[in-house]
Structure 1
Amino acid sequence: MSVLEIKNLTTTYGPVKALDSVDVAVETGQITAVLGANGAGKTSLLRTVSGLVKPTAGTITLDGTDITGKPTESMVHRGMAHVPEGRGVIAELTIEENLRLGMRGAAKRPTDTPAPVRTLDDAYQLFPVLGDRRNAQAHTLSGGERQMLVIARALLARPTLLLLDEPSLGLAPRIVAQIFNLVRALVNDSGLTVLLVEQNARSALSIAHTGVVLNLGKVVVTESAEVLQNDATLRHSYLGF
């Protein structure tokens, strides 16, 4: 069953087509990785799904409800959380104050919504480094710690669908492995669904169930992660490894 269905989605920036008739189905309880080179349309896809950019054509359906063009602020109440590229913390606030902002989104979610993170204690158990520094201002965190903070903040909204945009960007390989292993564990243990945009195709495919390869705004192929990992021609042509 698909929690998210994207059909014939087209997004333009002036005369430029960032997405061109894109079809993607994101299955419940799985990780779908969107892969491709810079400029392929990966981030534009997430921004369009979450309402930050309005599509020119096509439909986006979340849990059977058409959300095409709906306001971004309504998405969290519908069960979607978006962690954008760039680790956007509010630097002047403490770690705990940042996390409490995420909890505000959970207020309008059904109380029986399955969720791996419901309380601040849950978040600190998942990311002990955040608990150790809960009263520190967010600007004092390293890049990896900031990525943990924005993921924890998103999870506190109790989403059923998590959009992750380039979570490995600029991080050391050890931290990347830690974050990717955590995402895989969350999906396996709680049934969370993840739409992952990632430049690091090798790491993304190591945890994903399905891969969608974009090139110049078009879907080149949609296949199981295992098939994509073993397709040397496709990997060399579009994924860089």
Structure 2
Amino acid sequence: MAETGAHGSTAASAAGVGLSKGGGTATAPAVLEVEGLSAAYGPVRALDGVTLRAESGRITAVLGANGAGKTTLLRTISGLVRPTAGRVVLNGEDVTRSPVEAMVTKGMSHVPEGRGVIAELTVDENLRVGSLFRGKVGQDEFDRVYDLFPRIAERRGQTAHTLSGGERQMLVIGRALLARPKVLLLDEPSLGLAPRIVAQIFALLRKLVDTEGLSVLLVEQNARSALSVADTGVVLNLGRVVVTDDAARLAGDEDLRHAYLGF
């Protein structure tokens, strides 16, 4: 199936944010290229020759049932899991064997599932922890994060354990953005959140992608919401890519949705 640049707007419209069409086409240079990536946990093969690309100014949604390999894919791309085959290319550089801590300086931020804040630290201190790998970060960059997330700006002096689930998700995304990534890997950001909060977070991602050229690789169990904000969808099944296509076309493919996406 061919890829195009169209994308839906359901999630963003719910948050009241106007969207423009995502930049780039299928022939645009890829910020991130994954080629024939395989990974295993002992005898269990979790990824089997996965190939995909993520471009500037686009959201690529990785979808599939539980156990499809979505989280393992992000963990392997970011270096937390070592692949058994294949390679990861970031901004034209092969980073397959790069240390995890080097990925930030090379332009990649990974927000794992689970909203991993440091509960005993304040919001502001959590953000500053996220800036450590970048060296000196100006106050204007912290202010930018607070401008993006007014909810956490209001709570900057509070300890993170007092935040709601949605506020914690905003905090970990803001912390990742302090690294000024070219590629943001985002794992299950909607998990356990109210639809209204999910819509706000997805709308903000869409805005960052459209206005700043960020590339987002989004893993989501909530396929309907993910496809409403994404440009491209990649469907995994048992560690393999089943299909890659324009997000709107995937959302409209009833047979594929029923077979792999559960709606």
Aligned to 1:240: 262
User: Deviation at 1:44?
Assistant: 0.2
Aligned to 1:167: 189
Aligned to 1:194: 216
Task: Say which SS state the counterpart of residue 148 (structure 1) adopts.
Answer: helix
Does residue 53 (structure 1) correspond to residue 66 (structure 2)? The answer is no
Q: Which runs of 4+ in 1 moved over 4 A?
A: none
User: Deviation at 1:108?
Assistant: 8.0
TM-aligned CA distance change 1:75 to 1:21, over 3 Å: same
Q: Matches of 1:76 and 1:185 in 2, distance apart?
A: 22
Matches within 5 A, 1:23-172: 23-107=51-135, 119-172=141-194
Instruction: Please give the root-mean-square deviation of Cα atoms over the aligned residues, in Å.
Output: 1.5
- TM-score of the superposed pair, with normalisation by structure 2: 0.87
Task: Say which SS state the counterpart of residue 154 (structure 1) adopts.
Answer: helix
User: Deviation at 1:165?
Assistant: 0.2
How many residues align? The count is 235
Aligned to 2:33: 5
Q: Deviations for 1:143-182, whole angstroms, at most 9, x for unmatched residues?
A: 0000000000000111111000000000011101110111
Q: Which runs of 5+ in 2 are unaligned?
A: 1-28
Matches within 5 A, 1:186-225: 186-225=208-247
Q: Deviations for 1:22-79, whole angstroms, at most 9, x for unmatched residues?
A: 1111122210000000000000000000000000000110011000021100000000
- Residue 159 of structure 1 aligns with an amino acid whose one-letter code is P
User: Deviation at 1:107?
Assistant: 2.9
User: Does structure 2 retain, via aligned residues, the 8 Å contact 1:32–1:194?
Assistant: yes
Q: Deviations for 1:93-114, whole angstroms, at most 9, x for unmatched residues?
A: 10000011122233389x9xxx
User: Does structure 2 retain, via aligned residues, the 8 Å contact 1:118–1:158?
Assistant: no
Q: Which runs of 5+ in 1 are unaligned?
A: 112-116
Q: Matches of 1:29 and 1:69 in 2, distance apart?
A: 26
